[in-house]
Amino acid sequence: MQFPDDRRYTHTHEWARQDGALVRVGITSFAAEQLGDIIFLDLPDPGTRVDGGAAFGEIESVKAVSDLLAPVGGEVREVNEPLMDDLDLVADDPWEGAWMIAIAPDDPAQLDALLDAQAYAQHCAEEA
Amino acid sequence: MTEPTLFDISQPGKRCTRMPAADVPAPALVDVVPAEHLRAEPPALPEVTEPEIARHYARLAAQNFDVDRHFYPLGSCTMKYNPKVHEAIAAAAGWARLHPATPAEHVRGALRLIRDVEGWLAEILGMAAVSLQPPAGAAGEFTCLRIFRAWHDARGDTGRTRVIVPDTAHGTNPASVARCGWTVTVLESGPDGRVSTGTLAEALGDDVAAMMLTNPNTLGLFETNVLEIAAMVHDAGALMYCDGANLNALLGRARPGDMGFDAVQVNLHKTFATPHGGGGPGAGPVGVTAALEPFLPIPRVVERDGALAWDHDRPASIGKVQAWFGNFLVAVRAWAYIRANGADGLRRVTEDAVLAANYVRAALEGAFDLPYDGACMHECVLSAKTPTQETGVRAAEIAKALLDHDIHPPTMYFPLIVDEALMIEPTETESKRVLDRFIAVMLEIARAAREQPEALHDAPTRTPVRRVDEVTAARQPFLRWRPE
């Protein structure tokens, strides 16, 4: 398995990419495949505070409901509204079009503590 | 085959019955009903003939997939066949037509029945006292947590906000915690599919109010460390709740009270002869230790001056959790079922349920993945991970294929920690002939998954409604009929 190396990853299959002063967040192609067809997505409003490692939203597939965990703590600045109307994007374009929120991080260094692409690939291989 | 709604076949003027003309003068509606309660337009009710109604519902019933016609190994739900005699007993007018406001001295037989069922359940559970009031399993969970909260509060111990819930738990567990105003700490299962005491030790603290444990757990595995787990939780000042959904695995063989649990709920509609699957009514009685008895819902049945009576005067009670006394007719069926089986019969229910699950597990573990080795209790959890990876045939496809063989699918994709989970609970009511046929069909589907996977992608092909578009149904639910 290969994953983009322009971003970091969590053990719970979120990705986080530095984007100017913000950290953009989505879920990985591995997570999307495990979940199957997505039927519901619940994201926070801009301005919401999130803690690193805590739930910022929920994603529901035909199989299960899962929490979405924030890779870094901070304030939600942007939410991908178009994604709510086109949930197929989570499977079709997980790395770009299906970003979910952008966080203004409390501590930008938090990102460095996450998995890099190689470590995340190994984590997925162990789970599969 | 789509059955039209009664609105679709409605035609103005059709009636089931026609009343004879009144032979007395009829008052005008406006003279007997206040004007503000009168509609401007008549309600848009369907107008159909009696045969049209009768056939409409008979056709819908014929499309149903039910335990009276089909083997129904839906794991975690205990879809056993319920003897019809219990329906007849519960339908007897003396029970079915009782009004709940009838004074106790006129219905002492009903109070006696409630007291009997409470006493027998207490004995089965190893608990000091039982309340029949909660109307369903999740309501029983919530009742137990409310009782725990009242107990902590009564001791002035108000800083406890967390409840520990294993990652194999039923989804109702965290929901009950949230309803109670507490937060959930999820406990990751150990490599053997059971709670690891090491992981538990890390999760415990002086802010933990309770632990919720299902035993056997949803993998069908007995929590062999339950005594040590209970001691650890009690040492931390917290209480132990047993999710009693899997009581079918314990009757007469093991008791939650002896395992160190402080409270447990029972799903009468699973183990004690009330049919379910249609949305109720069920019943979720709770059993508690002597220390928690004062907090049980009111009213309680008590003996007063040699006669049974209602006791509402219990200051420590959490109050009511359901109107009147719970779903009484479910308790009537449970009374009859417990009496019909007796202690030996109930023990055999559990022994046969566990035997049936292990018979199925042993026959299928070569053809499917078995994520956790060893003997199971009343249900077994297999995984369709290998066919999913090799040919793209997922648990859902296997479930759909079973429908073509007139078998209800097992529970899928639960517990969440098993990929492509198939959770099979045959129950004690099925004969070896039925189990052997199920095994043969499952082996045939496993072979098809390897050799001709495309055939399974179309299943089911023999049901009144074929593969439904679950994704569109969930994203764009169409919940209400409207005229075109």
Contacts of residues B410-413 at CB distance under 8 Å and 24 or more positions apart, as own/partner, are B410/B73, B410/B74, B410/B75, B411/B74, B411/B75, B411/B76, B411/B77, B412/A63, B413/A63, B413/A64
Establish if B470 touches chain A: CB-CB under 8 angstroms.
yes
Percentage above 70 pLDDT, chain A: 100
In a domain, A22, yes or no: yes
Q: Which of B250, B439, B435, B416 is nearest to B346 (CA)?
A: B250
Give dist(CA B349, CA B341) in Å, integer: 9
Q: How many folded domains does chain A comprise? A: 1
Rounded Cα distance between A86 and B285, Å, is 45
Residue of A nearest to B171 (CA): A65
**Residue A3 located in a structural domain:** no
Q: Are strands A55-61 and A65-69 parallel, antiparallel or unpaired?
A: antiparallel
Reading the block at residue B92, the tokens are 């007897």
Q: What is the DSSP string of A18-59?
A: EETTEEEEEE-HHHHHHH-SEEEEE-PPTT-EE-TTSEEEEE
B253-286 pLDDT, tens per residue?
999 999 999 999 999 999 999 988 777 799 999 9
Q: State the pLDDT at residue B475.
A: 87
- Domain assignment present for residue A25? The answer is yes
pLDDT > 70? residue B5: yes
Distance between CA atoms of residues A104 and B253, nearest Å: 57
Q: Does A40 touch chain B (CB under 8 A)?
A: yes
Q: What is the ipTM of this complex?
A: 0.79
Select from A51, A62, A126, A127 the residue whose CB has the most chain B CBs within 10 Å, as the one to mutate to test that interface.
A62
Report d(CA B184, CA B203) in Å as an integer.
11
Put simply, whether B475 touches A (Cβ < 8 Å) is yes
| A62 neighbourhood in chain B, CB within 8 Å | 396, 470-471, 474
Provide the pLDDT for residue B480. 87
CA nearest to B444, candidates B388, B403, B402, B407: B402
Q: What is the CA angle B81-B86-B87, rounded to 5? A: 90
Residue A1: inside a domain: no
Q: Judge whether A39 lies within some domain.
A: yes
Please name each of the domains of chain B with its CATH number.
1-63 (no CATH), 85-340 (3.40.640.10), 349-473 (3.90.1150.10)
For residue B1, what pLDDT band results from cuts at 50, 70 and 90? Answer: low
Q: Do A40 and B474 touch (CB under 8 A)?
A: yes
Asked if B470 and A37 come within 8 Å (Cβ–Cβ), the reply is yes
Q: Which positions in chain A touch B471 (Cβ < 8 Å)?
A: 37, 39, 62
Provide the token pair at B13. Answer: 């003027």
Taking CA atoms, what residue in A is nearest to B185?
A54
Q: Residues of B with CB below 8 A from A90's CB? A: none
Q: Is residue B301 within 8 Å of B114, Cβ to Cβ?
A: yes
Separation of alpha carbons B125 and B256, rounded Å: 6
CB B318 within 8 A of CB B143: yes
- Mutate: best of B168, B470, B472, B476, partner A, most A CBs <10 A: B470
| pLDDT value of position B107 | 95
Structure tokens at B334: 């449970």
What is the tens place of the pLDDT at every residue in B161-210?
A: 999 999 999 999 999 999 999 999 999 999 999 999 999 999 999 999 99
DSSP for B82-133? --THHHHHHHSHHHHT--TTS-GGG-HHHHHHHHHHHHHHHHHHT-SEEE--
Q: Determine, yes or no, domain membership for A45.
A: yes
DSSP string, B175-231: HHHHHTT-EEEEE---TTSS--HHHHHHH--TTEEEEEEESS-TTS---TTHHHHHH
Tell whether the model's pLDDT for residue A116 goes beyond 90.
yes
Question: What range defines the domain where residue A79 resides?
Answer: 8-127
**Which phi and psi (to 5°) does residue B64 adopt?**
-70, 155
Residue B279, classified by CB atoms within 10 Å of its CB into exposed (0-12), middle (13-18) or buried (19+), is exposed
Summarised one tens digit per residue, pLDDT across range B120-148 is: 999 999 999 999 999 999 999 999 999 99
Residue A99 has pLDDT above 90, yes or no: yes
Confidence of residue A64 (pLDDT cuts 50, 70, 90): confident
Question: Average of pLDDT values for B55-83?
Answer: 93
Q: How far apart are CA A82 and CA B38, in angstroms?
A: 46
Is A100 part of any domain? yes
Cα(A102)–Cα(A85) distance, rounded to whole angstroms?
18
Q: pLDDT at residue B84 above 80?
A: yes
**3-class DSSP string for B15-69:** CCCCCCCCCCCCCCHHHHCCHHHCCCCCCCCCCCCHHHHHHHHHHHHHHCCCCCC
A128 pLDDT higher than 80: no
The yes-or-no verdict on residue B484 having pLDDT over 80 is no
Contact B461, B402 (CB under 8 A): no
**To the nearest whole angstrom, how far is the Cα of B115 from the nearest Cα of chain A?**
41
Question: Domain for residue A2, yes or no?
Answer: no
The predicted structure's pLDDT at residue B482: 83
Put simply, the answer to whether B475 touches A39 (Cβ < 8 Å) is: yes
Query: Chain A within 8 Å of B178 (Cβ-Cβ)?
Result: no
Torsion (CA) B438, B444, B448, B450 in degrees, nearest 10? 100
Residues of chain B with pLDDT > 70: what percent?
Answer: 100
CB contact under 8 A, A87 and B416: no
Instruction: Tell me what pLDDT residue B265 has.
Output: 98
State the CATH number of the domain containing residue A122.
2.40.50.100
A34 CB neighbours in chain B (<8 A) are: 419
For residue range A2-33, list pLDDT tens digits in order: 899 999 999 999 999 999 999 999 999 999 99
Do A56 and A69 contact (CB within 8 A), yes or no?
yes
